Amino acid sequence: MEQLQQQLIESEMVDLSIGIEPGSPSEPWTPEMEYRDHKQVAHRLAEKMHEIGIEEVSADDFPDGIGLAEETITAIIHTGTHMDAPWHYGPESEGEPSKTIDEIPAEWCRGNAVVLDFTWKEPRTEISAAEIDEQLEELNHDLSPGEIVLIETGADKLWGTEEYLTEFPGMGAEATKHLVDQGIKVIGIDAYGFDKPFVEMGERFAETGDNAELWPAHLAGREAEYCQIEKMTNLDKLPRRTDIPIVAFPIKVKDASAGWTRPVAFIEE
């Protein structure tokens, strides 16, 4: 344990997350943020003191007349980098009640990452199980239970633009289940979503009437229990493709479908 702690202390950290940004064209449901400065919150804190029966405190009583800054965020929990729980995909997974984000075992959220390169794949197309195996073969790597698989598309370079929502390949149901069948519980991607873009799924459904075109990778989670991390970034900054220690703990939100997450990779110097 001491050796592991020392390794973490001496490692370079690579932040694999994006933040919550108001007004971003890369979010279809844009988060709203209300910023309150130190003077405003001094008044809010004084008012709260009055509510609990302490009338003597006023905003001017704070040192320099200023209190504490704070913000209120109004956003869906799938804003920014986040981890989807099985509950997001449906009420049951593998025949059991689906886990919500606060029920996800912490052990799932740490391990060695494997990065699969799909930067070559055309946007709006679907990643197949065979293509997953081809990438693993190129790496000469066999997956082990507990590893975390990261899908690199390069779409994170489009963050801040509307193209971020449309120009990326997505996972297919077969590819998703193929990974879970090998003991993978967490899969990440550096794109807006895990499936193909909304517009591509919608157009395919409109053409065929086949509802299997709608969120197939997500809905694979009804048969194969797993979590996915969406909107990752900086996968290209990792110095190798396998055996990358990573932690990606989501915040615990009671009975929720997802939790904001800040994945961090540790690279030995």
Domain segments of the chain as ranges: 2-25+77-268, 32-74
Residue 5 has pLDDT above 90, yes or no: no
Are 16 and 265 in contact by the 8 Å Cβ rule? The answer is yes
Which pLDDT tens digit goes with each residue over 159-168?
Answer: 999 999 999 9
Quickly state the pLDDT bin for 13 (edges 50, 70, 90). very high
Helix 173-180 / helix 129-139 crossing angle, nearest 10 deg? 50
Identify the CA nearest to 233 among candidates 121, 169, 158, 136: 158
What's the confidence (pLDDT) of residue 10?
80
CB 148 within 8 A of CB 187: yes
* pLDDT of residue 22 exceeding 60: yes
The secondary structure element, H or E, covering residue 38 is helix 38-51
d(CA 167, CA 153): 10
- Tell me the per-residue pLDDT of 79-112, one tens digit each, with 9 for 90 and over: 999 999 999 999 999 999 999 999 999 999 999 9
Neighbours of 194 (CB within 10 A): 22
Residue in this structure with the two tokens 């989501």, named with its chain if needed: 250
Find the mean pLDDT for residues 208-216: 97
User: Is residue 36 exposed (0-12), middle (13-18) or buried (19+ Cβ within 10 Å)?
Assistant: middle
CA-based Rg of the chain, rounded to a whole angstrom? 21
Mean pLDDT (whole number) for 131-151: 98
- Tokens representing 35 are 């910023």
Residues 6+ apart with CB under 8 A from 3: none
Contacts of 131 (CB under 8 A, 6+ apart): 118, 121, 175
Q: Domain 2-25+77-268 is of which CATH architecture? A: 3-Layer(bba) Sandwich (3.50)
